[in-house]
A and B are shown apart, each in its own frame.
Chain A
Amino acid sequence: MRGHDWINTCLPDELILEILRRVDSKASHDACSLVCKRWLGLERLSRSTLRIDASGSPDLFVKLLAQRFVNVKAVHIDERLSVYVPVNVGKRRGRDENAMTSLKVHYAGEKSGSEEEVCESFCLTDAGLTAVADGFSKLEKLSLIWCSNVTSLGIMSLAQKCYFLKSLDLQGCYVGDQGLAVVGKCCKQLEDLNLRFCESLTDAGLVDLATGCGKSLKSLGVAACARITDRSLEAVGSHCKSLETLSLDSEFIHNKGILAIAQGCPLLKVLKLLCINVTDEALTAVGVSCLSLEMLALYSFQQFTDKGLRAVGKGCKKLKNLTLSDCYFLSDKGLEAIATGCTELTHLEVNGCHNIGTIGLESVGKYCPRLTELALLYCQRIGNFALYEVGRGCKDLQALHLVDCSSIGDEAICSIAYGCRNLKKLHIRRCYEVGNKGIIAVGENCHSLTDLSLRFCDRVLDEALIAVGQGCPLQHLNVSGCNQIGDAGIVAIARGCPQLSYLDNLGDMALAELGEGCPLLKDIVLSHCRQITDIGLSHLVKNCQMLESCHMVYCPSITAAGVATVVSSCPSVKKVLVEKWKVSPRTKRRAGSVLSYLCVDL
């Protein structure tokens, strides 16, 4: 064979390492580690990120993995998730399982704990965290997500060994002030810190941290911390001059705290607030002092009025991204002030703000020509004319989301279709006035559309899908809840959109067409499709060899045979969601790791 082992002798280690570093999926890394022994060694050196979940014993894994992957810079331990690991289940016998169980037992033996003790610990403990610190000295990024057994002691030993730590995510961990203080003292390169749901923290801890490593801090997140008050924010304002991102969710923060941030952190780019006790005074200060602000998000039931928004519109000329969610006191005037003042706006979301109507949106259409993404959710007062202006003024619009906007109908969609030719993504849910006319216009005009979702829009019929199938290079389609759409529409899509990789809502004939027309299909949702049978499934999987996920719950005509067909025919399948009783024991043995069961007993 030409080139036979030529590469292994000529290509130096550094080049193979460079290639391996660019291989980004776990499956590929695993394949490379099996190529030959030299590659195993190099592959181990090339891994820089590890993720550990809650189904094994993290303490144990950390020690083993630290021996193998010495260049790891990022470790994620997430105890909300558990991956099905095929050991210790039933009487399965196989070389794989024996090798792994015996390695586990061997290690447990070494540590002179009983095997049972070790296997019971599914949570990372302080000892485990210390092992992380010992084993991964180059650690730059650590995420401990809801690791409930970790305390300040573990964090302290981590901080004392990992000086290069840049990013620390402690969400949901019951860590105390002492831990944070030591982080402040030792981790002088810390840039990102997430303290959401760290309920035992008080001002003392955050103040110590800000004093210690405030200089390098760029991003901070705090939520549900009842004992963090304005005092902490004042410390952040004094010490964290490089702060760019702040996310705050707390009823214990008042204007004083936000003012301190606004005045102390001139480089602030991203601000997300869910603080019901903060008022216009704070928002005005933001408008006056945070002139680099690019993203602002105001959530839920806060007291801000148009006055605050006007200040933002006046001062934050670089604003690109605005989210207004459940802000009852904001009206058209406020949005107009933003539109006229922040003409660089590219992303806008208005969610449940019942006093914002057509006029506010019209001004966005008139003054914000760079808008690329618009989301209007639960905006009953916004009418067709608003989108007419958007269609006229926002030629670069790429994504439009409409949820529960009962006054928006075909006229609006037509305006968007005619005006926003570059539209790539259109998601419409429960907008009952939208029907065929609008969607046909989309099919005829939006030739870059790749993602279409029309949910619960009963007035949309097959003709609309036929038009879309002819005119749009769709990759994602979701039409669940559109009861008037039948096979004819789906078939048209299948024939017209060979790039389709995600689809739901169909019957057998459509499935067969889909199998032929869309070989790239990766994800399919067949749940609630009463007409689909095993036959349709077999037609589908014959051709859709790239299928990765298949949801089929509440399909009364699909049986265990159909499930078995899907599992055995699709080599890449990663997830099959189905009722437990439809899975035969044989299928379970073959494919246990990809099956997800519907857990609701109705």
Chain B
Amino acid sequence: MSMAAVETKKITLRTADNHEFEVEEAIAMEFSTIKTFFDENPDASEDTIPLPNVTSKCLSAIIEYCKSHLAFRARETSSSIDEQVRTYDEEFVKARDNESLKELILAANYLNIKALLDMLNQAVADRIKNKSVEYVRRFFGLENDYTPEEEAAIRAENEWAFEGVDPDDD
């Protein structure tokens, strides 16, 4: 056994497009799906884990994210760290187009990374906020399956409950 500094243990992941990624154990454990797998199969740590639902583009983005957040968490909590985390998250999302956001959500869901998933869900919610129905349909690539009468009925229904005015604080 070598006396030199031992690198942290690495885990190999294979993506859907047959790329192999070596990640540090700490990062792999951020993926709850993988963590659970290893908890149940402690001998499997040398094997390559196949991820048939994740592309290499997605996985490298996710690894970046987890690495950065692990680094943030290692530092002391303070409001300036919070500020930096917020900025990092904003930039992470800003750079993605709608397609990549959707892919990332599916990947984060599959790998079960709660913090990333929450953040991405919020980002998508922010993107469809205050947009028209057509925009939301295009964003998600959905077809309208309402008849005109059905659509009018739903529009009328939506007028019933009002919103936007909060009761004054006494």
Contact = CB atoms under 8 A, between A and B. Distances in A.
A52 B159 contact: no
A12 B142 CA distance: 14
B159 A25 contact: no
A143 interface: yes
Given A26-B164, A145-B167, A31 B122 contact: no
A11 B107 CA distance: 11
A81 interface: yes
Interface stretch (A95-103, A309-317, A393-401): A95-103
Nearest to A77: B167
A53 B149 CA distance: 27
Contacts of B132: 31
A91 B66 CA distance: 61
A235 to B, nearest CB: 23
Contacts of A32: 128, 133, 136
A86 interface: yes
B170 A28 contact: no
Contacts of B154: 33-34, 40
A31 B99 CA distance: 20
Interface string B49-62: 00000000000000
Interface string A21-50: 011111110111111110110000000011
A80 B167 CA distance: 9
Contact of B170 (A8, A22, A221): A221
A328 interface: no
Nearest to B125: A22
B170 A11 contact: no
B167 A28 contact: no
Contact of A7 (B118, B129, B141): B141
A93 interface: no
B152 A36 contact: no
A96 B151 contact: no
Contact of B146 (A5, A19, A37, A76): A37
Contacts of B140: 7-8, 11, 35
Contact of A19 (B125, B155, B156, B160): B125
Contacts of B86: none
A65 B141 contact: no
8 contacts: A2-B99, A11-B102, A11-B106, A22-B125, A34-B151, A35-B142, A97-B156, A145-B167
Given A35-B142, A83-B162, A15 B152 contact: no
Interface of B: 99, 102, 105-106, 109, 117-118, 121-122, 124-126, 128-133, 135-137, 140-146, 149, 151-165, 167, 170
B124 to A, nearest CB: 5
A100 B131 contact: no
B142 A36 contact: yes
B104 to A, nearest CB: 12
A64 B161 CA distance: 10
A171 B149 contact: no
Interface in A44-66: 49-53, 56, 61, 64-65
A192 B75 CA distance: 37
Interface of A: 1-8, 10-12, 15, 18-20, 22-28, 30-37, 39-40, 49-53, 56, 61, 64-65, 68, 76, 78, 80-81, 83, 85-86, 95-97, 99-100, 103, 143, 145, 169, 171, 194, 196, 221, 223, 247
Given A32-B128, A56-B160, A22 B145 contact: no
Contacts of B153: 99, 103
Question: Interface of chain A, helix or strand or loop or mixed?
Answer: mixed
A23 B26 CA distance: 33
Given A3-B102, A51-B163, A52-B161, A28 B131 contact: yes
B58 to A, nearest CB: 14
Nearest to B164: A26
B141 A5 contact: yes
A78 B161 contact: no
A36 B146 contact: yes
Contacts of B155: 30, 34, 96
A18 B125 CA distance: 9
B143 A28 contact: no
B158 A5 contact: no
B76 to A, nearest CB: 21
Nearest to A80: B167
Interface centre among A5, A20, A23, A97 (most CB of B within 10 A): A23
B105 A36 contact: no
B121 A22 contact: yes
Nearest to B151: A34
A64 B160 contact: yes
Contacts of A56: 160
A33 B122 contact: no
A36 B121 contact: no
Nearest to A2: B99
A4 B141 contact: yes
A76 to B, nearest CB: 7
A28 B125 CA distance: 9
